[in-house]
Chain A
Amino acid sequence: MDRDQFLIEQINEAVPDAIEEVLEFRGERTLVIAQDHIKKVCQLLKSDKSLNFDLLSDISADDLLPDFPRFAVNYHLYSIPNSQRIRLRVFVEDPDDGPPTMGDIWSIATWLEMEVWDLMGVRFSGNNSLRRLFLPEDWQGHPLRKDYPLGYEEVQFSFNWEEISARKPSPKE
Protein backbone atom coordinates (compact mmCIF):
# COMPACT_ATOMS: atom_id res chain seq x y z
CA MET A 1 0.00 0.00 0.00
CA ASP A 2 2.84 2.45 0.37
CA ARG A 3 3.29 2.24 -3.39
CA ASP A 4 -0.16 3.78 -3.63
CA GLN A 5 0.81 6.42 -1.07
CA PHE A 6 3.84 7.30 -3.16
CA LEU A 7 1.58 7.52 -6.20
CA ILE A 8 -0.86 9.85 -4.44
CA GLU A 9 1.95 12.07 -3.25
CA GLN A 10 3.38 12.33 -6.74
CA ILE A 11 0.03 13.31 -8.15
CA ASN A 12 -0.60 15.85 -5.44
CA GLU A 13 2.78 17.40 -6.05
CA ALA A 14 2.46 17.69 -9.80
CA VAL A 15 -1.24 18.46 -10.18
CA PRO A 16 -2.60 19.90 -6.95
CA ASP A 17 -6.36 19.70 -6.27
CA ALA A 18 -6.75 16.95 -8.81
CA ILE A 19 -7.65 14.17 -6.42
CA GLU A 20 -11.05 14.74 -4.89
CA GLU A 21 -11.36 11.51 -2.94
CA VAL A 22 -9.41 8.35 -2.22
CA LEU A 23 -11.54 5.24 -1.75
CA GLU A 24 -10.69 1.70 -0.90
CA PHE A 25 -13.01 -1.27 -1.28
CA ARG A 26 -12.07 -4.97 -1.13
CA GLY A 27 -8.40 -4.19 -1.47
CA GLU A 28 -8.73 -1.96 -4.52
CA ARG A 29 -7.84 1.68 -4.50
CA THR A 30 -9.84 4.26 -6.46
CA LEU A 31 -8.88 7.88 -6.96
CA VAL A 32 -11.74 10.21 -7.81
CA ILE A 33 -10.33 12.91 -10.06
CA ALA A 34 -11.90 16.13 -11.28
CA GLN A 35 -12.73 16.26 -14.95
CA ASP A 36 -10.51 19.26 -15.63
CA HIS A 37 -7.36 17.62 -14.34
CA ILE A 38 -7.72 14.07 -15.63
CA LYS A 39 -5.59 14.61 -18.71
CA LYS A 40 -2.63 16.00 -16.80
CA VAL A 41 -2.86 13.21 -14.25
CA CYS A 42 -2.85 10.57 -16.97
CA GLN A 43 0.10 12.19 -18.71
CA LEU A 44 1.99 12.15 -15.45
CA LEU A 45 1.16 8.52 -14.79
CA LYS A 46 2.31 7.43 -18.21
CA SER A 47 5.45 9.49 -18.59
CA ASP A 48 6.93 9.48 -15.09
CA LYS A 49 9.61 6.82 -14.96
CA SER A 50 9.01 5.81 -11.38
CA LEU A 51 5.25 5.38 -11.85
CA ASN A 52 5.25 4.04 -15.42
CA PHE A 53 1.61 3.07 -15.95
CA ASP A 54 2.01 1.79 -19.46
CA LEU A 55 -1.00 -0.48 -19.93
CA LEU A 56 -4.46 1.00 -20.10
CA SER A 57 -6.66 -1.96 -19.30
CA ASP A 58 -10.08 -0.52 -19.68
CA ILE A 59 -12.26 2.57 -19.93
CA SER A 60 -15.79 1.90 -18.80
CA ALA A 61 -18.71 4.13 -17.98
CA ASP A 62 -21.38 3.88 -15.31
CA ASP A 63 -24.88 5.29 -15.34
CA LEU A 64 -25.84 6.20 -11.77
CA LEU A 65 -29.27 7.43 -12.73
CA PRO A 66 -31.08 8.59 -9.60
CA ASP A 67 -27.83 10.20 -8.38
CA PHE A 68 -26.26 13.32 -9.69
CA PRO A 69 -23.71 13.59 -11.41
CA ARG A 70 -25.19 10.93 -13.61
CA PHE A 71 -22.22 9.37 -15.34
CA ALA A 72 -18.91 8.10 -14.04
CA VAL A 73 -16.02 7.10 -16.29
CA ASN A 74 -13.50 4.63 -14.88
CA TYR A 75 -9.95 4.29 -16.15
CA HIS A 76 -8.22 1.06 -15.09
CA LEU A 77 -4.45 1.41 -15.35
CA TYR A 78 -1.72 -1.15 -14.83
CA SER A 79 2.01 -0.73 -14.54
CA ILE A 80 3.88 -3.74 -15.88
CA PRO A 81 7.31 -3.07 -14.32
CA ASN A 82 5.88 -2.20 -10.89
CA SER A 83 2.93 -4.64 -10.95
CA GLN A 84 0.68 -1.92 -9.65
CA ARG A 85 -2.95 -1.34 -10.45
CA ILE A 86 -5.02 1.81 -9.94
CA ARG A 87 -8.48 2.98 -10.89
CA LEU A 88 -9.27 6.61 -11.73
CA ARG A 89 -12.88 7.67 -11.57
CA VAL A 90 -14.22 10.83 -13.17
CA PHE A 91 -17.76 12.04 -12.59
CA VAL A 92 -19.33 13.49 -15.70
CA GLU A 93 -22.42 15.67 -15.47
CA ASP A 94 -23.13 16.34 -19.11
CA PRO A 95 -22.54 13.38 -21.43
CA ASP A 96 -21.88 15.60 -24.41
CA ASP A 97 -19.08 17.34 -22.59
CA GLY A 98 -17.05 14.46 -21.31
CA PRO A 99 -13.40 14.01 -20.39
CA PRO A 100 -10.69 14.72 -22.98
CA THR A 101 -9.53 11.82 -25.06
CA MET A 102 -6.52 9.79 -23.95
CA GLY A 103 -5.74 8.68 -27.49
CA ASP A 104 -2.46 10.54 -27.62
CA ILE A 105 -1.25 8.95 -24.40
CA TRP A 106 -2.35 5.35 -24.92
CA SER A 107 -3.35 4.48 -28.49
CA ILE A 108 -5.86 1.85 -27.39
CA ALA A 109 -7.89 4.59 -25.70
CA THR A 110 -9.46 5.64 -29.00
CA TRP A 111 -11.05 2.25 -29.43
CA LEU A 112 -12.20 1.98 -25.84
CA GLU A 113 -13.75 5.44 -25.99
CA MET A 114 -15.59 4.50 -29.19
CA GLU A 115 -17.32 1.74 -27.31
CA VAL A 116 -18.28 4.03 -24.43
CA TRP A 117 -19.76 6.57 -26.79
CA ASP A 118 -21.68 4.02 -28.79
CA LEU A 119 -23.29 2.24 -25.88
CA MET A 120 -23.43 4.86 -23.13
CA GLY A 121 -23.31 8.17 -24.94
CA VAL A 122 -20.45 9.91 -23.17
CA ARG A 123 -18.61 12.03 -25.68
CA PHE A 124 -14.83 12.39 -25.33
CA SER A 125 -13.57 15.71 -26.60
CA GLY A 126 -10.81 15.51 -29.14
CA ASN A 127 -11.69 12.02 -30.33
CA ASN A 128 -12.66 12.32 -33.98
CA SER A 129 -13.62 8.76 -34.61
CA LEU A 130 -16.63 8.47 -32.33
CA ARG A 131 -19.08 6.55 -34.46
CA ARG A 132 -21.52 3.67 -34.27
CA LEU A 133 -19.43 0.59 -33.78
CA PHE A 134 -21.64 -2.10 -32.26
CA LEU A 135 -25.00 -0.95 -33.50
CA PRO A 136 -26.19 -0.22 -37.04
CA GLU A 137 -25.29 3.23 -38.30
CA ASP A 138 -28.77 4.65 -38.09
CA TRP A 139 -29.58 3.53 -34.53
CA GLN A 140 -30.96 6.17 -32.21
CA GLY A 141 -30.24 6.17 -28.53
CA HIS A 142 -27.62 4.65 -26.30
CA PRO A 143 -28.66 1.22 -25.03
CA LEU A 144 -26.69 0.90 -21.81
CA ARG A 145 -28.31 3.91 -20.21
CA LYS A 146 -30.74 3.14 -17.46
CA ASP A 147 -33.66 4.88 -19.16
CA TYR A 148 -33.31 2.85 -22.35
CA PRO A 149 -35.69 -0.13 -22.41
CA LEU A 150 -34.37 -3.66 -22.68
CA GLY A 151 -36.42 -4.44 -25.77
CA TYR A 152 -37.99 -7.47 -24.19
CA GLU A 153 -40.31 -9.41 -26.49
CA GLU A 154 -43.33 -11.03 -24.91
CA VAL A 155 -43.11 -14.79 -24.79
CA GLN A 156 -45.55 -16.63 -27.05
CA PHE A 157 -47.63 -19.13 -25.12
CA SER A 158 -50.65 -20.94 -26.43
CA PHE A 159 -53.12 -18.43 -25.01
CA ASN A 160 -51.59 -15.43 -26.78
CA TRP A 161 -50.27 -17.24 -29.83
CA GLU A 162 -52.39 -15.52 -32.48
CA GLU A 163 -52.00 -11.98 -31.23
CA ILE A 164 -48.23 -12.19 -31.09
CA SER A 165 -48.01 -13.96 -34.45
CA ALA A 166 -49.95 -11.11 -35.99
CA ARG A 167 -47.37 -8.61 -34.75
CA LYS A 168 -44.24 -10.63 -35.52
CA PRO A 169 -42.62 -9.90 -38.88
CA SER A 170 -42.24 -12.83 -41.21
CA PRO A 171 -40.69 -13.09 -44.64
CA LYS A 172 -42.95 -13.13 -47.62
CA GLU A 173 -40.87 -15.81 -49.26
Chain B
Amino acid sequence: MGIEQKLGNMGVVTYRFEDVVNWGRSGSMWPILFGLACCAIEMMSMQASHYDMSRFGMELNRPSPRQADLMIVSGRVSRKMAPIVRRLYEQMPSPKWVIAMGDCASCGGIFNNYAIVQGVDEIVPVDVYVGGCPPRPEALIDGILTLHEKVRGEKLQDWA
Protein backbone atom coordinates (compact mmCIF):
# COMPACT_ATOMS: atom_id res chain seq x y z
CA MET B 1 0.00 0.00 0.00
CA GLY B 2 2.57 2.51 1.13
CA ILE B 3 5.16 2.23 -1.61
CA GLU B 4 2.73 2.41 -4.51
CA GLN B 5 1.24 5.63 -3.15
CA LYS B 6 4.63 7.26 -2.86
CA LEU B 7 5.91 6.12 -6.21
CA GLY B 8 2.84 6.89 -8.20
CA ASN B 9 3.15 5.60 -11.71
CA MET B 10 6.75 4.46 -11.53
CA GLY B 11 7.44 0.84 -12.35
CA VAL B 12 11.11 0.87 -11.42
CA VAL B 13 12.80 1.40 -8.07
CA THR B 14 16.51 2.13 -7.92
CA TYR B 15 18.69 1.67 -4.94
CA ARG B 16 22.41 1.30 -4.37
CA PHE B 17 23.63 -2.26 -4.79
CA GLU B 18 25.77 -1.96 -1.69
CA ASP B 19 22.80 -1.10 0.50
CA VAL B 20 20.77 -4.02 -0.78
CA VAL B 21 23.64 -6.42 -0.12
CA ASN B 22 24.19 -5.05 3.35
CA TRP B 23 20.48 -5.21 4.10
CA GLY B 24 20.48 -8.86 3.09
CA ARG B 25 23.57 -9.65 5.14
CA SER B 26 22.32 -7.99 8.29
CA GLY B 27 18.81 -9.31 7.98
CA SER B 28 19.73 -12.97 8.08
CA MET B 29 23.03 -13.49 9.80
CA TRP B 30 23.48 -17.04 10.96
CA PRO B 31 25.48 -17.56 14.13
CA ILE B 32 27.69 -20.54 14.64
CA LEU B 33 26.59 -22.84 17.46
CA PHE B 34 29.53 -22.05 19.67
CA GLY B 35 28.91 -21.70 23.37
CA LEU B 36 31.86 -21.94 25.66
CA ALA B 37 30.84 -21.18 29.25
CA CYS B 38 28.33 -19.26 31.34
CA CYS B 39 27.65 -16.62 28.69
CA ALA B 40 26.40 -19.42 26.47
CA ILE B 41 23.53 -19.98 28.86
CA GLU B 42 22.48 -16.35 28.51
CA MET B 43 22.83 -16.75 24.75
CA MET B 44 20.50 -19.74 24.96
CA SER B 45 18.10 -17.66 27.05
CA MET B 46 18.22 -15.07 24.32
CA GLN B 47 17.22 -17.65 21.76
CA ALA B 48 14.35 -18.93 23.84
CA SER B 49 10.95 -17.36 23.61
CA HIS B 50 11.23 -14.57 26.16
CA TYR B 51 13.97 -12.60 24.41
CA ASP B 52 13.48 -13.94 20.98
CA MET B 53 16.47 -13.81 18.66
CA SER B 54 14.65 -15.10 15.62
CA ARG B 55 12.98 -11.76 15.10
CA PHE B 56 16.41 -10.53 14.00
CA GLY B 57 16.83 -13.36 11.56
CA MET B 58 19.11 -15.44 13.76
CA GLU B 59 16.98 -18.40 14.54
CA LEU B 60 19.21 -21.00 12.94
CA ASN B 61 22.42 -21.76 14.72
CA ARG B 62 24.60 -23.64 12.32
CA PRO B 63 26.90 -26.19 13.94
CA SER B 64 29.16 -26.22 10.93
CA PRO B 65 31.42 -23.17 10.52
CA ARG B 66 31.19 -23.43 6.75
CA GLN B 67 27.55 -22.37 6.86
CA ALA B 68 27.76 -19.63 9.45
CA ASP B 69 28.72 -16.00 9.21
CA LEU B 70 28.66 -14.73 12.78
CA MET B 71 30.74 -16.07 15.63
CA ILE B 72 29.56 -15.02 19.08
CA VAL B 73 32.42 -15.95 21.38
CA SER B 74 30.43 -16.53 24.53
CA GLY B 75 32.61 -17.47 27.42
CA ARG B 76 36.19 -17.69 28.52
CA VAL B 77 38.77 -18.88 26.01
CA SER B 78 41.46 -20.98 27.65
CA ARG B 79 44.96 -21.52 26.28
CA LYS B 80 44.01 -25.01 25.15
CA MET B 81 40.95 -23.78 23.29
CA ALA B 82 42.61 -20.81 21.59
CA PRO B 83 43.97 -22.64 18.48
CA ILE B 84 40.55 -24.14 17.97
CA VAL B 85 38.80 -20.78 18.06
CA ARG B 86 41.26 -19.52 15.47
CA ARG B 87 40.70 -22.59 13.32
CA LEU B 88 36.93 -22.18 13.44
CA TYR B 89 37.30 -18.52 12.50
CA GLU B 90 39.46 -19.44 9.52
CA GLN B 91 36.99 -22.06 8.41
CA MET B 92 34.15 -19.57 8.23
CA PRO B 93 33.76 -18.10 4.73
CA SER B 94 33.82 -14.33 4.22
CA PRO B 95 31.94 -12.14 5.02
CA LYS B 96 32.18 -12.97 8.68
CA TRP B 97 31.83 -11.03 11.90
CA VAL B 98 32.77 -11.70 15.50
CA ILE B 99 31.00 -10.52 18.64
CA ALA B 100 32.96 -10.86 21.87
CA MET B 101 30.24 -11.55 24.40
CA GLY B 102 30.94 -11.00 28.03
CA ASP B 103 33.91 -9.79 30.01
CA CYS B 104 36.02 -12.92 29.58
CA ALA B 105 35.90 -12.73 25.80
CA SER B 106 36.48 -8.97 25.75
CA CYS B 107 39.36 -8.65 28.15
CA GLY B 108 39.89 -11.78 30.20
CA GLY B 109 37.25 -10.81 32.75
CA ILE B 110 37.80 -11.67 36.37
CA PHE B 111 40.34 -14.37 35.44
CA ASN B 112 43.69 -12.65 35.11
CA ASN B 113 45.90 -15.73 35.20
CA TYR B 114 47.96 -18.27 33.30
CA ALA B 115 45.10 -20.24 31.84
CA ILE B 116 42.84 -17.70 30.14
CA VAL B 117 43.54 -15.70 27.00
CA GLN B 118 43.14 -12.08 28.01
CA GLY B 119 40.56 -11.08 25.48
CA VAL B 120 39.67 -12.99 22.36
CA ASP B 121 40.91 -10.06 20.27
CA GLU B 122 44.37 -11.54 20.75
CA ILE B 123 43.25 -14.31 18.41
CA VAL B 124 40.49 -13.10 16.10
CA PRO B 125 39.51 -9.59 15.01
CA VAL B 126 36.42 -8.51 16.93
CA ASP B 127 33.70 -6.23 15.64
CA VAL B 128 31.51 -5.64 18.69
CA TYR B 129 32.32 -6.07 22.38
CA VAL B 130 29.44 -6.68 24.77
CA GLY B 131 30.23 -6.19 28.45
CA GLY B 132 28.72 -7.95 31.43
CA CYS B 133 29.30 -11.08 33.44
CA PRO B 134 27.18 -12.52 31.92
CA PRO B 135 25.54 -9.76 29.87
CA ARG B 136 21.78 -9.70 30.08
CA PRO B 137 20.02 -10.95 26.96
CA GLU B 138 18.92 -7.39 26.30
CA ALA B 139 22.54 -6.27 26.32
CA LEU B 140 23.46 -8.94 23.82
CA ILE B 141 20.56 -7.92 21.60
CA ASP B 142 21.88 -4.38 21.80
CA GLY B 143 25.26 -5.69 20.68
CA ILE B 144 23.69 -7.51 17.77
CA LEU B 145 21.79 -4.42 16.68
CA THR B 146 25.02 -2.41 16.85
CA LEU B 147 26.60 -5.02 14.62
CA HIS B 148 23.71 -4.72 12.18
CA GLU B 149 24.22 -0.98 12.01
CA LYS B 150 27.90 -1.52 11.40
CA VAL B 151 27.15 -3.99 8.62
CA ARG B 152 24.76 -1.59 6.96
CA GLY B 153 27.53 0.97 6.77
CA GLU B 154 30.10 -1.32 5.19
CA LYS B 155 31.51 -0.99 1.73
CA LEU B 156 31.57 -3.84 -0.74
CA GLN B 157 35.34 -3.52 -1.09
CA ASP B 158 35.79 -4.61 2.54
CA TRP B 159 34.90 -8.15 1.72
CA ALA B 160 35.82 -8.33 -1.95
Interface residues of A (CB under 8 A from B): 134-136, 139, 143, 148-153, 155, 168-171, 173
How far, in whole Å, are A135 and B79 apart by their CA atoms in the complex? 8
| B154 lies within 8 A of chain A by Cβ | no
> B121: nearest residue on chain A (CB-CB)?
A170
Residues of B within 8 A of A168 (CB): 118, 122
What is the bound-complex CA distance between A149 and B113, given in angstroms? 9
In the complex, the answer to whether B121 meets A153 with C-beta atoms within 8 Å is no
| Chain B residues near A (Cβ < 8 Å) | 79-80, 86, 108, 112-115, 118, 121-125
A151 adjacent to B115 (CB under 8 Å)? yes
Query: Separation in Å of the B110 CB from the closest CB of chain A?
Result: 12
Main secondary structure of the interface of B (DSSP, over half): loop
Q: Is A151 a contact partner of B113 (Cβ separation < 8 A)?
A: yes
Q: How far, in whole Å, are A148 and B112 apart by their CA atoms in the complex?
A: 15
A139 to B80, CA, bound (A): 10
Task: Count CB-based A-B contacts (< 8 Å).
Answer: 36
Q: Which residues of B contact A152 (CB under 8 A)?
A: 112-113
What secondary structure prevails in chain A residues at the interface with B?
Answer: loop
Interface pair A170/B112, CB less than 8 Å apart? no
A sample of 14 more A-B contacts (CB under 8 A), given A151-B112, A171-B122, is: A135-B80, A135-B115, A136-B80, A148-B114, A151-B114, A152-B113, A168-B118, A168-B122, A169-B122, A170-B122, A171-B86, A171-B121, A171-B123, A171-B124
A-chain residues with CB within 8 Å of residue B80 when the two chains form the complex? 134-136
A143-B115, A171-B124 known; A136-B79 Cβ under 8 A:
yes
* Contacting residue for A173 out of B114, B118, B125, CB 8 A: B125
Given known contacts A135-B79, A135-B80, is B123 in contact with A153 (CB within 8 Å)?
no
Q: Once the chains bind, are B115 and A153 in contact (CB under 8 Å)?
A: no
- Across the interface, do B112 and A153 meet the contact criterion of CB distance under 8 Å? yes
A135-B79, A136-B79 are contacts. A150–B114 as well, Cβ < 8 Å? yes
Closest CB in chain A relative to B106 CB, distance in Å: 12
Task: For the complex of A and B, list the 3 residue pairs with the smallest distance between their C-beta atoms, beginning with the closest.
Answer: A151-B114, A136-B80, A151-B113
List residues of chain A with CB within 8 A of the CB of B122.
168-171
CA distance A135 to B114 in the complex (A): 10
Cross-chain contact B125 with A171 (CB below 8 angstroms)? yes
Considering the complex, give the chain B residue whose CB is closest to the CB of A132. B80
B121 neighbours in A (Cβ, 8 Å): 170-171
